[in-house]
Amino acid sequence: MINEALVLSAILFVIGTFGVLVRRNAIIMFLAIELQLNAVNLAFVAFSRVVGIEGQVFVFFVMTVAAAEAAVGLAIIISIFRHYETVNVNNFNLLKW
């Protein structure tokens, strides 16, 4: 079952990468990043069956960091939305070369 879990983790991570690359809605890109974090969590839990409980402890930390990241990232999105009236990242080109 560990092998299958790692395969599922790889598939979910790649789907998340795809979402970040092709979607232009900032909130959906953010959701895709959460999907990638979850794929890594699944890999950690699977590896905890190989190396011990540390894998599950790290998943705990990853979840905390994901919560903090979601709070700050959504605050940034709200702040950008107040300025541009959109969350489409194609419109955020101030720093574009």
Partner 1 sequence: MMDILFYVFSAVAIGGALGVVLAKSPVGSLLFMVTTLASLAGTFVLLEAHFLAAIQVIVYAGAIMVLFLFVIMLLNLGHDYVQDLRGGAFGVASFAVIGLMAGLLSRQLSGPGTPTSGEGGAAIDAAIAEHGVVGAIAEPLYTTYVVPFEITGILLLVAIVGAIVLAKRKVD
Applying CB under 8 A, the residues found at the interface with partner 1 are 1-8, 10-19, 21-25, 27-28, 30-32, 34-35, 38, 41-42, 45-57, 59-61, 63-72, 74-79, 81-82, 87-88
Smallest gap from residue 72 Cβ to partner 1 (A): 5
Smallest gap from residue 97 Cβ to partner 1 (A): 17
Of 51 and 95, which has the nearer Cβ to partner 1? 51
Of 21 and 95, which has the nearer Cβ to partner 1? 21
Half-sphere exposure of 18 (CA within 13 A, CB side): 6
